[in-house]
Each structure stands twice: as structure tokens, then as C-alpha cells.
A and B are shown apart, each in its own frame.
Chain A
Amino acid sequence: MFRRHFLRGASGAAVALPFLESLTPRTARAAAPDPRRFIAFFQCNGVNMDRFFPTSDYGRIEAAGLAGTALEPLSAFASRMLIPRGIHMAPRGFNRDPSAGDDHAKGMGIKLTAQPLLDGSSYAAGISVDQEIANRLNAPGTPALSLRVGSGPRSVLGVCSYYGYEQPAVPENNPWLAYQNLVGVADLDDLALARLTSRRESVLDLVERDFVRAGNSALSRADAAKLDMHLTSIRELEQSMAGAGLIPCVLDPARAAEIEALDPDTITSNAQFKTLGQMQMDVLALAIACGNTHAATLLWGAGAGGPIFSWDGMSHVYNHHRLSHGTTSDAEGTDVAGYEDMLYDIDTWYGSQLAYLLERLDGYAEGSGTVLDNTAVVWMNELSDGREHNYMDLPYVILGSCGGYFKMGEYIKVTAEDRLKNDVDAPHNKLLTTILNAVGVRAEDGGPVENFGAEEYGEPGEFEELKA
């Protein structure tokens, strides 16, 4: 069969398609024995900075130091938590660096890319760290999973992940579609499955032939890259089920049925925010645990957006963005009474949702520990202080040591400056570089990755003080 030759990288096919990298033989990428992963738990609109960080001094994190802060719901994970303090964004906000977009746009587009935003579209000028990890560690053609809870625009404000220069990865907000994508076909009897498999093989044979025809002319690099992404994805499809891990890529059937029962028309409704979030976290934890992807982002709402929190004891009138400014309206606004407490309640609620995700990851045994031990879940935010649109002293919390790479149970100041709100010596791209090395990405020479992001804004190197 044509396809079999094709998959083996037969020289004939490679000659026919000199521009398509995916048709040249690849070195087999065996699943690593101890996969390490990265998850971005992405909150928008900043936090109540007075009640987010531990009340204790730098050093050991104890549950008592988390009491009364937004981290209190994570007390059970105090010993598996690392809090770096004093990180600023690079490129910076407030028109401090030449880059398009307002502060919200920057907070969203730069956080995972460390790249400036482009004039015109306002999208980021380069790949994000989650997709970089996926390119390097996932099976070819499997990008990082990008999920969203609730609604968001198809613009820079609604995206945090990027395939590359001006190539935003629009997140999926329907957990059933995300789950279906992960699980493939389910509930088919043997005959039906055999038929489907034969059909798919036949279809993909012919589809690949069409790529050969397409590749028979000189393509621009952009077109070659585009087709390469497509073809690589198709070849991944042929390897049938996603994932190579020991954990099957399926949820408990009862939970799957609940997700399937979701009315797609309610995906963006305020009232479903919590329900959807937990469904998305179930899918996300599964995708990480079963080996589908080494990196994922979970975006809650959107920059300059977010729901009206009206559950779990909250009964707000204004949406998250409005509360983050503390005023009743963009125009003619007066302060919302008690908005700081409302923000604290929101932050604490996000902490409890993060605890839900951590429990899911911790529920999957792996090696001598759990999937959480081999993962770095990073709670990050578009901004620090929302009312100031501040890009300094960003709230980061790392959960899970990523296979022992990160110190655990510590609260560490990473800036040498006295003032935490500074943009001097702790650009956030260093954290992204550290994460890349933590999950096992290597530079071309086999050594550690030196720098992630646009060189002219950040600094090379890792946050050494965070490493175990």
C-alpha cells in the first residue's frame, strides 16, 4: 500500500515533496519514560494584590501563611507549591516598549510568548511556550491543548497561545468537542469499528496522494509550513488513538455523559461558568495524564472580560473586568462599594478551582508518584493590579515540581530590588525559559535552552533560585 511506504519515509515520496518537511524521515520519538508537562492556569484582569500572596515571610510555605489569602484553598498543596515574587512582564506594558496593543492586549498576548504585539492585528509576533513544548515533545502534529472557560472574542484578548508569528491558537470552549477530539470514537462494536478503521485508512491514503500533487511545485516557505502542519496532523491521525501513556484517554462514562449532555448554546452563559470550568479541567487533566499532550492552557474568560460572579456565595452585579477597575461604568463611574473584597472572593474562587485541577492530576498515579508530580501547573494572570493595569510584581504560583525540577514549598523573591513593583531584573521570559528546561526541552546543541522570547526585551537564562 502506498500509505505504508509513505509512512516509512520512502525516498520516492520525499523526492516528490522536497518542501514538506513532514515527508522526510523522522527519527522515532519514543515516549519518554518520565513525561514532564506544563499547564498554564490563566486568569484575567489581575488580582487583589493585598490578599493574594502568603502573609508569611519568604522561605518555607506553611498552610497558616496562606490563611486569609486567595491561596487558602490550596493549603493542602502548600508543600507542593512554589511562589516566585517580583516578576515583571517583558515586553512591558504602559507603552514602555514599542509594541502594539493596550495593556489588556499585552497582558494576554505577551504572557506566554514574551514577544511584542504586531501593529494591525495586535497578535503576538511569535510562538508561545506551550506550543513550543508541544512542537518539541508531543507526537508530531499534536499542538498544545488550548481550552477556554466561557466566552471571549476571537482577538488578542481572547487568546493566550500562539502557533507562531501572528498565528493565534483560538481556544475551544466546548468541553464535549474537546473531549471528543481526545477520545476519538467510542462505543462502537467490533464490526463498526473495523469498518470505520478501513474507511479512514482508505481516505487518508488518497488524501496523502493529494498532498504529493500539491507539493510538486515550488512552494513559498509560508505555504510549505502551512501544508506541513496539515499533513503532519493527518499522519498523526493515522496513528489512531491519541496518547501513548498507560492511562487510557477516556473519562468515567458517567462524567462523559454529563459533558455530552451539555447544551452547546449555554457554553457562553454566565451561569455555566463553574460547571464548564470543571468539565474543561476534567478533559485537560485527562489529556495531560494519558499522554496526548505535554502542554496545555486553560484560559478563564478573556482579557478585559470575564463573567459576573454569582455563585458560591458571590452575588456580584458587575463583571470581573469592571470590578477589577472598581468602578461602575467606563464612563461616569463611581467606586463600587467593597470591590476589593469582591476581587478577593474571585481570586479565592479561582484558587479553589485550581485545587480541583490539582486533585484531578494527583488522582492519576504515575511512576512512584502522580501526574501532578511530573507537571508544573502555573497559575498566572494577565495583570497584577487590575485597576492600575500593572505589569509588575505579577502573581505567579507554580504547583508541582515538574519531576523534581522546581523547589517545592517555598516563597522566593526573585528580584534583587527592594521594591517588588519594578521592571529591572526579573523579566517573565526567564520563567518561560525555566519552564522549557523543566519539561525537558533542549537547545539544538543538547544543552539547556538559553532564552525564550524576543531577545531585545527579556533576559537570557533561568531563575536559578527556583530550581531544586
Chain B
Amino acid sequence: MVNLGIATRPAVVVALCVCLPACYVGLDVGAGDDAVGVDEGGSEGSASQGVAREPESASGQEDGGSGQPPEDESCEESTFAGALSQFVRLTHGQYDNSVRDLLGVEIPVAATFIPDPVVNGFSNNSDALLVTDRLVRDYQRAAEEVAGTLLANPDAIVALVDCDGVYDDACASAFIADFGRRAFRRPLEASEQDAFMRAFAGGAGLYEQGDEFQQGVALVVETALQSPSFLYRTEMSAPPPGETQVALTGYEIASRLSFMFWNSTPDRELLAAAEAGELDSSEGIETHARRLLADPRAADPVRDFHAQWLATEKYASVTKDPELFPSFGADTIAAMEVETEEFFRRMILEENATYADLMTSPVTWITPELAEVYGIEENLQDGLNRVELDPARRAGFLTQSGFLASHAYFASTSPIHRGVGVQRQVLCAVIPDPPGDVDLELPPLDATIKTGREQVTSHTSPDACVGCHKLINEPGFAFEIYDSVGQYRVTDNGEPIDSSGVIPTTDGQLPFTDAVDLAHQLADSPAAQRCYLTQWFRYVSARKEQSADRCTLDAVHEALMANGYNVGEMLVALTQTVNFRFRVNQEDE
């Protein structure tokens, strides 16, 4: 077995040099010896061969670094998996969804919970999901509100506790066994069943509304929603002595599946499958993964992942110059949010999209507020419209208003923001923030600097800048065919636009003519595909990838490349891995 290494927190996890941070055309895991960093200081040509990999591990995952499979080790017989907390707290969205699915009633309460921080791009990082004093009180208030709502809604209780009208102790016991199993995502132990029965009996008279039976039900619910077995996705299976990995139980697999595909609790069918041992095999897991993916609830993680990956939270603070863009306002921003959500949901869950489809589709779904941005002249109906844009001008989400307008300035475009967006989000490159003392002001337009491209080129020409900006600028220039809000344009400041360039990736240098061409090339780029896979891996694993995950990601990546990188298949494939079925506990000392 593999020694996972010493897991102490590094005092300072900084690999950056003291002078200026380095940029990497990134990959995700496994720091290869053959990696070549794009060095700072403008050493000529370095970016062109600059193929390095992002150092593995981060975010307090405490991978000592000695546990990863050596680079040259074959992954064929690998059983490596990264370590994960045994107590992954529900996200606030998962809390609301679980309450809905447990009780059959929508009672959104999590909006008032203290928000979770964003770590490495995602707000579901298991190490940062803490239950502080404040959140304990939030959970208490929420559980009390849910119980009160139930009591005010007797039909919901009847739907929950169906004993043919005979509400006796046997009925209560059956309710507790069923509800407890669903809330804790495993069967209750005998002592837990007894304790809930006592709580049920004690509930009578403790609420203003409802009869004694209903009050008992309410107190059971109020209790369960504050229990660690509900609030955390617990994986209590422990490796046997001398081993580092252990296969998860069927119930633990059921939770992994349902939170991955629904951001919610398992349904009865999935729990039954766990009980029947169906989730002990890859085939059984695949069957249920496909069932969950086909359910409408799969829309939630698809929406949430893409919103976090593309930071759509930022749309809300986008402002544009009213003199140049008089119709841009809150309605436009709301329409951008709708488009991003609908595009990914429909493409992935209804159109069976591949990664390439996401990157190249001229089809999108918009509300009339975006017609102007896309130059659509015919009248659109209220609500959503499926529109087919000019494929010579638009290709996938990078050319949609959300990305373009949120990566641009008040009045002008911003090639740097757009280029960084492509490198960081789409290619997983490591691009540090600019040093603090750089002047961010571009030179003014004049007789020699006539376009945005020339402004950026001139401004970032000093030796200290080019190392990173070689990765950033040209992909940014590709998007100069779109203005600050995302309208297609052919001139900039009256000058013709040069949107051509070369983008350095780990696949090599990709020349392109404009953003549409760039998107088409990235659609087929293994580096971009693998980055998308890696981002999903981070999201569904609630942690950043570690070196031990390399073989898992390699295997899924290879398999997907062979069949076109279908996104739904990618999600299913992620359940067919050692990572999904086994756990490695976080280690001390």
C-alpha cells in the first residue's frame, strides 16, 4: 500500500518567487519534472514552450506531497484516491433541496444562513464548510421554521405520514424509521429509533398548532434537521488496519450519487438500491447515475457548477456607460444570468452536449432583453427564445453576453480580463494577480496607439510583464470583435480589428483568427477538455484535486477523448472511478 505521507500543514504554501509571481500554462495535477515554467522577466520565447503544470494539492488538503504516484508509475493497476474529510457539511443549497425532498414541501430557509467563503473558485470546499456559532443558530431557527410550516400545513404531514388514518405508535414508529433513514441517508440504529420515539412522544403540547401526533412529527423533523448525521455527509467507513483505502458502503455511495447529480438527498429508490447491494458494483452505480442524470433535479448542480465556474455572481455588479449603451441595465443583467443558466442546462441535459458543443454552439436561449446585444432584429416572444446566431460570429459560451460583458470595462473592452478568463477558467492556467505596484492605466489613444489591442500591447511590453502577458493578451485580442457589452463589431476606434493571435496551451501553440476560431480550436483541445473535467472534479469532490487523483483524472480523460467528451458521459464516468467508490481518510502526523 501506499504511504500517503506526512500530512502537516506547510507553514507557508507559496511557491511563488519573492520578486514576481510566475505564470503557468496550466494543468491540474502532478508536478512533472518535465514541466517548464513560463519564467518571469521576459526571457524570450519561454512562453512558447511554457508547458508547466499547476502544483498539485492545495486548500488545506494536506497532501504531504510524498504520497502521489510517481510520474512514471503506470496508472493501470492504480488504486489511488485523494483524501477527503469524513464530515462534508451540506452547502446551503443542498440544505434547502434536502428539506424539499424529505418533506415534499418547498420551505427555502437557507438564504438567511451566513454565507460560505469561496475557496479556489468554489464555495463548497469541504474544509471551509464550518459550523460556527452563527450557523448553529441559523440551523436552529431554520428547523423551527420548517417544523412550524409543517404544522400549519396538515396536508403535508399526511403526505409524509400515511398510516391510513390510524395514527398510533406503530404509525409513529414507521414514520420515524422511514424519515430517519431518508434524513440520515442510512438506516437508523436501534438506539436512534428509540431516541426519536421518545422525542415524538415528548413533542405533544410543545407547539401551539396541530394535534399531538402532528406535534410529535414536527419535533422529530426539528431534531433531525439539526443532527450531524443530516447536516454532514458522513462517511464513517474506516480503512482496516494497515490499509489506507476503504470501499464505501452502499449508503455512502448513494449519498455521493445524489449530492453529485441533484445537490440533494437520495430518494427512496436509491436507498433501496443501497440496501439491496446494487451500489456495490460499478454497473449498479452506473445504472443509478444515469437515472439521476435524467431526473429534472439534475438541473441544480449543472446550474450551480457553471455559475461558480464562470463566477456569474459578478454579473450583478456589471455597469456600463449609459451614453454608449443606453439600454443596458438591470434587466439586461438578469437576462445574462438566464442565458448562462439555460444554455448549460439545455445543452447538457436536453441536447446531450459534448464539451465541443458548449464551446461552439451558435444556438442559445435568450429573453428579448438580449436581442440588441446579438443584433437580432425580428421580434422575440416574452420569455425564453431558442435562437440560432450567425456561426461566423458566435461560438459557445465564451462569445455570449455574460462572459463578454463581465470581462470588460465600463465603456471599453478588456482584452486582459478576457484573456485571463480563458487561461484561468478554460485552460486551468496559473495566472497570479498582477503585482500591486503596477500601473493599471492603459496609455491613451493617440496617433500611434489607435486601438485597444495597441494600448494593451504597448502597456504590457516591459520585460517584467511579458512573461504572463504572453499567455493573456492574444487570447484576449480574439474577443476584440465584441464590444464592452458583447455586441459584434468590425472596427475599434474607427480602425479595423486584428483579432488574430496564438494561444499557448499544454497542447502547444494554437493559432487563431478570432474568438470564434479560438473557441473552435479550444473545443478540440485536450488541455481545455481536461481542464473542464478538472473543474467538475473539484466541484463534485468538494475539494481541490490532489496528486493522488492524477490516475483517476487521466483515465476519465482518456476515455472521454475516445468518445467525444460528452458532458453527461463525463459525469457518469466520474462515478466509475476508484475515487468515487473508495475513500482515503485525511491523515495526521
Tell me the minimal C-beta distance from B24 to chain A in angstroms.
12
Contact, CB under 8 Å: B588 / A214 = no
Cβ–Cβ < 8 Å partners of A21 in chain B? none
Which one of A105, A141, A327, A454 contacts B441 once the chains associate, using CB atoms below 8 Å? A327
Contact, CB under 8 Å: B13 / A118 = yes
B-facing mask of A159-187, CB < 8 A → 1, else 0?
10001011111101010010011000000
With contacts A98-B14, A181-B134 taken as known, whether A195 is within 8 angstroms of B414 at the C-beta atoms is no
A391 to B313 CA separation, bound complex (whole angstroms) = 30
Q: Does A392 reach chain B (CB closer than 8 Å)?
A: no
Contact, CB under 8 Å: A220 / B14 = no
A221 to B222 CA separation, bound complex (whole angstroms) = 30
Tell me the minimal C-beta distance from B351 to chain A in angstroms.
32
A202 to B200 CA separation, bound complex (whole angstroms) = 10
A-facing mask of B127-147, CB < 8 A → 1, else 0?
110111111110011011000
Contact, CB under 8 Å: B115 / A202 = no
A-facing mask of B415-444, CB < 8 A → 1, else 0?
000000000000000001111110011101
Q: Which of A26-34, A65-73, A328-336 contacts B (4 or more CB under 8 A)?
A: A328-336
Contact, CB under 8 Å: A141 / B133 = yes
Contact, CB under 8 Å: B137 / A237 = yes
Q: Does A101 reach chain B (CB closer than 8 Å)?
A: yes
Residue on B nearest A102 in the bound complex, by CB: B433
With contacts A119-B13, A125-B12, A229-B130 taken as known, whether A198 is within 8 angstroms of B223 at the C-beta atoms is no
Contact, CB under 8 Å: B117 / A116 = no
| 26 chain-A/chain-B pairs, Cβ below 8 angstroms | A93-B436, A95-B436, A102-B434, A119-B14, A166-B128, A167-B127, A172-B114, A177-B112, A195-B205, A195-B206, A199-B222, A202-B219, A203-B222, A204-B226, A206-B223, A207-B226, A210-B227, A210-B228, A214-B87, A214-B236, A230-B130, A230-B136, A230-B228, A325-B440, A330-B441, A456-B12
Contact, CB under 8 Å: B85 / A223 = yes
A-facing mask of B106-130, CB < 8 A → 1, else 0?
0000001011111110010001101
Residue on A nearest B224 in the bound complex, by CB: A206
Q: Does A262 reach chain B (CB closer than 8 Å)?
A: no
Q: A94-B435, A195-B207, A220-B85 are in contact. List 6 more A-B contacts (CB 8 A).
A: A95-B19, A100-B21, A199-B206, A222-B127, A331-B412, A332-B455
A199 to B62 CA separation, bound complex (whole angstroms) = 41
Tell me the minimal C-beta distance from A269 to chain B in angstroms.
12
Q: Does B195 reach chain A (CB closer than 8 Å)?
A: yes
Contact, CB under 8 Å: A102 / B116 = no
A97 to B16 CA separation, bound complex (whole angstroms) = 10
Tell me the minimal C-beta distance from B399 to chain A in angstroms.
22
A106 to B437 CA separation, bound complex (whole angstroms) = 13
Residue on A nearest B129 in the bound complex, by CB: A226
Contact, CB under 8 Å: B437 / A389 = yes
Q: Interface residue count for A (Cβ, 8 Å)?
A: 84
A142 to B137 CA separation, bound complex (whole angstroms) = 11
Which one of B131, B410, B435 contacts A229 once the chains associate, using CB atoms below 8 Å? B131
Which one of B9, B222, B223, B442 contacts A165 once the chains associate, using CB atoms below 8 Å? B9
Please report the number of residue pairs spanning A and B whose Cβ atoms sit closer than 8 angstroms: 237
Contact, CB under 8 Å: B228 / A226 = no
Contact, CB under 8 Å: B12 / A332 = no
With contacts A220-B85, A329-B409 taken as known, whether A206 is within 8 angstroms of B14 at the C-beta atoms is no
Contact, CB under 8 Å: B455 / A202 = no
Q: Does A40 reach chain B (CB closer than 8 Å)?
A: no
Contact, CB under 8 Å: A170 / B114 = yes
Contact, CB under 8 Å: A143 / B132 = yes
Cβ–Cβ < 8 Å partners of A159 in chain B? 117
Which one of A100, A101, A219, A454 contacts B86 once the chains associate, using CB atoms below 8 Å? A219
Tell me the minimal C-beta distance from B523 to chain A in angstroms.
28
Cβ–Cβ < 8 Å partners of B17 in chain A? 98
Q: Does A356 reach chain B (CB closer than 8 Å)?
A: no
Residue on A nearest B137 in the bound complex, by CB: A181
Which one of B87, B191, B222 contacts A223 once the chains associate, using CB atoms below 8 Å? B87
Cβ–Cβ < 8 Å partners of B18 in chain A? 95-98
Tell me the minimal C-beta distance from B87 to chain A in angstroms.
5
Contact residues of B between 1 and 52, Cβ < 8 Å to A: 9, 11-21
A-facing mask of B549-573, CB < 8 A → 1, else 0?
0000000000000000000000000
Residue on A nearest B195 in the bound complex, by CB: A206
Contact residues of A between 344 and 399, Cβ < 8 Å to B: 388-389
Residues in chain B within 8 A of chain A (CB atoms): 9, 11-21, 55, 58-60, 62, 85-87, 89, 112, 114-120, 123, 127-128, 130-137, 140-141, 143-144, 189, 191-192, 195-196, 199, 202-203, 205-208, 219, 222-223, 226-229, 232, 234, 236, 238, 313, 317, 409-412, 414, 432-437, 440-442, 444-445, 455, 544, 585-588
Q: Does A52 reach chain B (CB closer than 8 Å)?
A: no
Cβ–Cβ < 8 Å partners of A333 in chain B? 441
Tell me the minimal C-beta distance from B145 to chain A in angstroms.
12
Q: Does A255 reach chain B (CB closer than 8 Å)?
A: no
Q: Is the interface of B mostly helix, strand, loop or mixed?
A: loop
Which one of A116, A163, A165 contacts B60 once the chains associate, using CB atoms below 8 Å? A165
Tell me the minimal C-beta distance from A306 to chain B in angstroms.
12
A277 to B316 CA separation, bound complex (whole angstroms) = 22
A333 to B411 CA separation, bound complex (whole angstroms) = 11
Cβ–Cβ < 8 Å partners of A211 in chain B? 228
With contacts A125-B12, A220-B585 taken as known, whether A101 is within 8 angstroms of B544 at the C-beta atoms is no
With contacts A217-B238, A222-B586 taken as known, whether A125 is within 8 angstroms of B137 at the C-beta atoms is no
Residue on B nearest A383 in the bound complex, by CB: B436
Cβ–Cβ < 8 Å partners of B445 in chain A? 332
Residue on B nearest A215 in the bound complex, by CB: B228
Tell me the minimal C-beta distance from A149 to chain B in angstroms.
16
A230 to B455 CA separation, bound complex (whole angstroms) = 53
Cβ–Cβ < 8 Å partners of A220 in chain B? 85-86, 585-588
A389 to B437 CA separation, bound complex (whole angstroms) = 7
Cβ–Cβ < 8 Å partners of B127 in chain A? 166-167, 222
Q: Does A79 reach chain B (CB closer than 8 Å)?
A: no
A226 to B586 CA separation, bound complex (whole angstroms) = 13
Contact, CB under 8 Å: B117 / A170 = yes
Cβ–Cβ < 8 Å partners of A106 in chain B? 436
Which one of A118, A141, A210, A389 contacts B14 once the chains associate, using CB atoms below 8 Å? A118
Q: Does A8 reach chain B (CB closer than 8 Å)?
A: no
Q: Does A209 reach chain B (CB closer than 8 Å)?
A: yes
Contact, CB under 8 Å: A233 / B132 = yes
Cβ–Cβ < 8 Å partners of B132 in chain A? 143, 163, 169, 229, 233
Cβ–Cβ < 8 Å partners of B222 in chain A? 199, 203
Contact, CB under 8 Å: B435 / A102 = yes
Cβ–Cβ < 8 Å partners of B203 in chain A? 199, 202
Residue on A nearest B61 in the bound complex, by CB: A222
Cβ–Cβ < 8 Å partners of A181 in chain B? 134, 137
Q: Does A213 reach chain B (CB closer than 8 Å)?
A: yes
A456 to B117 CA separation, bound complex (whole angstroms) = 27
Which one of B55, B131, B191, B409 contacts A331 once the chains associate, using CB atoms below 8 Å? B409
Contact, CB under 8 Å: B226 / A203 = yes
Q: Does A192 reach chain B (CB closer than 8 Å)?
A: yes
Residue on A nearest B202 in the bound complex, by CB: A202
Contact, CB under 8 Å: A154 / B87 = no
A203 to B140 CA separation, bound complex (whole angstroms) = 9
Contact, CB under 8 Å: A100 / B455 = no
Q: Does A218 reach chain B (CB closer than 8 Å)?
A: yes
Q: Does A407 reach chain B (CB closer than 8 Å)?
A: no
Cβ–Cβ < 8 Å partners of A219 in chain B? 86
Q: Does A123 reach chain B (CB closer than 8 Å)?
A: yes
A222 to B128 CA separation, bound complex (whole angstroms) = 11
Q: Does A450 reach chain B (CB closer than 8 Å)?
A: no
Residue on B nearest A104 in the bound complex, by CB: B436
Which one of B119, B120, B195, B444 contacts A332 once the chains associate, using CB atoms below 8 Å? B444
Which one of B20, B115, B411, B587 contacts A329 once the chains associate, using CB atoms below 8 Å? B411
Cβ–Cβ < 8 Å partners of A95 in chain B? 18-21, 435-437
Cβ–Cβ < 8 Å partners of B60 in chain A? 165-166, 222
Which one of B59, B86, B123 contacts A166 once the chains associate, using CB atoms below 8 Å? B59
A12 to B67 CA separation, bound complex (whole angstroms) = 38
A388 to B437 CA separation, bound complex (whole angstroms) = 7
